[in-house]
Amino acid sequence: MYDAIVIGAGAAGLMAAAEAARAGRSVLLLEKMEKAGRKIRITGKGRCNLTNARPAEEFMDHVRANADFFNVAFSEFNNRATIRFFERLGVKLDIERGERVFPHSGKAWDIANALTEYCEEHGVEIMYHTRVTEILTLGGRVYGVKYINRRGFERKEECENVIVATGGVSYPSTGSTGDGYTFADAMGHTIEPVRPALTPLRTSHPQREYLNGLLLKNVGAKLYVDNELRQEEFGELGFSERGIEGAVALRVSRAAVDALIDQKRVKLVLDLKPALDADTLRERIRREMADMQPEEFFAELLRKLVPKNLVVPLAKEVDFHSKSYISKLTDTEIERLIKILKGMVFPITDYAPFEYAVVTAGGVSCDEVNRYTMESVKVKGLYFAGEVLDIDADTGGYNLQVAFSTGRLAGQLKK
């Protein structure tokens, strides 16, 4: 009989299992995929942005749901502790722009492998290709789990402590298919509505087909909901067949998704020249035109101002053909160009599904979990950690830190 069974070998589950085993407990870690840390291995475009090195107060400003609840776990194992933890495991780390922390190797699997090896070194027994089907309870407390092993046989394992670290429903190909919500619901827990967070946004902009592959750096963005300013961001933004993405779009996506679900009107307004005010931009355009020949095309002027992919969309928005001579450009059209450069409007009509979402918003209600132990207040011996909880944060390493902190606390099996 094990002291603890952990369901899910992701960031939270690996940390929870390691912490429990480090304290001398016998631990069984059940993972339905063929290896541990599947999602870790693809995060950060395969580089793994494992945490963010901002000061604690600034860090907590980036936790969007139940920050007060999470603060307890973060206080016990914060971002600095995470950095020290992986460095002690022999993973050299770099702190990059925006205080984002990555393995020096640029390889996400270094983080996943380090965690897995740490578990194995402390005696954690890991069973892969093993799908938990039920958490067993009696008289308001856990007494074990049922699972189907790699040979397809159903088995039962008795245990007084079960940690649910199954993740959300984002990137389901990594094994995150909402199993934890099913378990929690069956045991009487409230599941806050789940929806994609940090996900690309879909636009109905008539020129969107011209923008695929476009990457914009150092742009300003304002998110409006029912014409009220909801959020401002600055940084990188891109366009693909998935929608509008990049750090800026992902940061505003949580508010945008919630507004769309509530059937509100959403738009993203981009400042393509945030370093220039309207007057300075007007002078810049006049100067560029003065250096051009009258028979040069409007497209050539635009090319001096914006990336190639934006030339046709801008020309269409100004309502001045890209192949028209700049000598025919009127003051009215120049003013229209300035207005668009300082505020190009993208109506947001939809969002990308869970397959493309970095994390899941919603999940097991934090009101029903003891923030000091991660134990359920409804079922004794039942613990939750990571994305299965109703906690989500901005892009930039914050969400993996949520997993590490809550997993570490859950693994202590405090009563």
84 confidence band (pLDDT: 50, 70, 90): very high
287 Cβ neighbours under 8 A, 6+ residues apart:
none
Query: Lowest-confidence range among 96-105, 115-124, 166-175, 278-287?
Result: 166-175
Average pLDDT of span 110-118: 98
pLDDT of residue 415 exceeding 80, the answer is no
- pTM for this prediction: 0.93
**Three-state secondary structure readout of 124-141:** CEEECCCEEEEEEEECCE
E-state strands within 272-389: 344-351, 359-364, 382-384
E-state strands within 131-227: 131-138, 141-148, 154-158, 162-164, 191-197, 201-203, 215-225
Closest to 126 in 3D by CA, of 9, 38, 40, 23: 9
Check residue 159 and report its DSSP letter. Answer: B
* Residue 173 pLDDT: 86
Reading the block at residue 414, the tokens are: 């405090």
Summarised one tens digit per residue, pLDDT across range 328-378 is 999 999 999 999 999 999 999 999 999 999 999 999 999 999 999 999 999
* Residue 201 pLDDT: 98
Summarised one tens digit per residue, pLDDT across range 265-299 is 999 999 999 999 999 999 999 999 999 999 999 99
How many residues make up the chain in this entry?
415
> Are the CB atoms for 53 and 83 separated by under 8 Å?
yes
Average pLDDT of span 248-269: 97
pLDDT of residue 1 exceeding 90, the answer is no
> Are the CB atoms for 309 and 211 separated by under 8 Å?
yes
- Domains, the chain, in order of start with CATH, read 4-195+357-411 (3.50.50.60), 200-352 (no CATH)
- Element housing 95 (H / E): strand 93-96
pLDDT of residue 124 exceeding 80, the answer is yes
* Residue 392 pLDDT: 96
pLDDT of residue 175 exceeding 90, the answer is no
Please tell me the distance from the alpha carbon of residue 170 to that of residue 232, in angstroms, as a whole number: 25
414 confidence band (pLDDT: 50, 70, 90): confident
